[in-house]
Structure 1
C-alpha cells in the first residue's frame, strides 16, 4: 500500500494571539532575518493576507514577496505588518 502525505502549513496552527506570540517570539530569538520574515509571512497567511493588505495599505504581492523565505522586508514593512497584526517590536537587553 502506498503512503499518503499531506501538505503541512504552520499557518493552520496559529488560531490564537497567544499561539502567534509564541511563534513570533521563537522567530525573533533565532536572530535570523530570513526566518523572521518567513514567520511573519506564516502569521500573515493565518490572519488573512487580503485583510492584512487592506489594513497596511501594502499590496498583497508585496507582502507575499517580502514575507517569504526569500524575502527581505524593510524595517518599515515589518513595523507596519506587526502593528496591523496587533504586535510591536521592542528591545530587551541580553542577559549574559
Structure 2
C-alpha cells in the first residue's frame, strides 16, 4: 500500500511580497496582453489576493465578491476598474515610446 502525498495548491498570490514583485508581474502581463487580453486583469487579481482584498474592494468602491469576479481569469473588468485598482494599489499605468535602434 502506498502513502498518498498531498501537495498544497500553488497560488502565485502567496509569493507577491512587495511592490517590486507586483510591478514585475504586471510588466510580464502587459507583454502577454497582445495574445491574452485577460493577462492584465488576472495579474491584478493575483496582486489583489496577495494583500487585503476586503480593504482593496472598499477603496475601489466594489464588493469583495465583485472585485474577485472582475479580476478572475473569466472576469471582464472595465478600464475604469483596472485604473481604480492600480491606483488603490499605489501603482500607476504609464505609456512610453518603444526604444528604436538605428
Any idea what the Cα deviations from partners look like across 1:41-82, whole Å, max 9, x if unmatched? 111011211010111111112111110000010000000000
Per the TM alignment, residue 95 of structure 1 is displaced from its structure 2 partner at its CA by 4.1
Tell me the residue number matched to 2:13: 11
- Partner residue in 2 for 1:40: 44
TM-score by length of 2: 0.86
Structure 1 segments unaligned to the other structure (5+ residues): none
2:80 corresponds in structure 1 to 76
> More helix per residue: 1 or 2?
1
Provide TM-score, normalisation by structure 1. 0.91
- State the partner residue of 2:57: 53
Q: What is the SS of the residue equivalent to 1:39?
A: helix
Q: Structure 2 stretches of 5 or more lacking a match?
A: none
Give the equivalent residue in structure 2 for 1:30: 32
User: How many residues align structurally?
Assistant: 96
State which structure, 1 or 2, has the greater radius of gyration over its C-alpha atoms: 2
Measured after TM superposition, the shift of residue 33 of structure 1 is: 1.9
